[in-house]
Amino acid sequence: MIQVESLNKRFGNIHAVRDVSLKIHPGQIFGLLGPNGAGKSTSISMMTGLIDADSGSVSLSGLKPQSKEARHKIGLIPQSIALYEELTATDNLSFFASLYDIPKNQLQSRMDWALDFVGLKDRATDRVSGFSGGMKRRLNLAASLLHDPDFIFMDEPTAGVDPQSRNKLFDNVLELKELGKTIIYTTHYMEEAQKLCDQVGIIDHGELLALGTVGELLKQHGGDTQVSISSDRGVKEFKSSDVSNDLIQALQTSDKVYDISVNSPDLEAVFLNLTGRQLRD
């Protein structure tokens, strides 16, 4: 389990993370959803031990993230691509493997598995400089998995990624969950959080505004469903918290219905209702 208690971090006059607390259970995909500059990367950096918190604590199954034992349990895919462009995919993985003391008799099999997992085995001997942005993201993921970590932190992993690589990354995330990994996934794309995450924390201006499953967040903060009915009596639009019941009543007043449109709330609506602004503002 990852347990975060009252994390705070300031950079000068900027309070980047404000009293953030959360629990992430083993085998969960936890999404940290918020716009750029919300405090997602700073939170990840404290949770992985890259920077120290001003106050508060982080526990990774009872370990401090700065400890050597914890570092061997952490896999990090940073927001900025971290690869050596003039080296091949295999040479990059070999370098990163050396940071985790992977035994030589296991190295080749671990690299083969990682490249196959992200769909790059056929590009093993190619220089990274010839890779697309999406391929580089996938190779970064492969590098983070070489030492078989328990906790995988993915910071905006689909930034600048082509649709094919994006879908492959989604598949990889779900496969890692099936392998029992605990995944922390930051994004400003609400559809990614809605598609992948078991639990979502919404963060803005460094403050955790809401926490729960997607269903819980939609119910608590999403607002009503928008319904539009085109019939022989014209167009009727209304908001509903009980669509099935209200829709049946509305249909009973119409002789002939041409079209029905039902727009349910999503995480974009949740963010708007919590902050008063769009997620991508």
The pLDDT tens digits for 81-113 are 889 999 999 999 999 999 888 888 999 999 999
Residue 210 has pLDDT above 60, yes or no: yes
Spatial distance between the Cα atoms of 123 and 116, rounded to a whole number of angstroms: 10
Element spanning 215, H or E: helix 214-221
* pLDDT category of residue 217 using cuts at 50, 70 and 90: very high
> Exposed, middle or buried, 162 (CB in 10 Å: 0-12/13-18/19+)?
middle
Structure tokens of 102? Answer: 């992977």
Residue 155 has pLDDT above 60, yes or no: yes
Q: Where are the domains of the chain?
A: 2-218, 224-264
Distance of CA 52 to the CA centre of its chain: 22
The pLDDT tens digits for 4-40 are 999 999 999 999 999 999 999 999 999 999 998 999 9
Structure tokens of 159? Answer: 């930034």
Average pLDDT, the chain: 90
The dotted CATH code for 2-218 is 3.40.50.300
* pLDDT category of residue 253 using cuts at 50, 70 and 90: low
The confidence score (pLDDT) of residue 165 equals 87
Contact 183, 154 (CB under 8 A): yes
Spatial distance between the Cα atoms of 279 and 11, rounded to a whole number of angstroms: 23
The confidence score (pLDDT) of residue 162 equals 86
Interval 204-226 mean pLDDT? 91
Residue 192 has pLDDT above 80, yes or no: yes
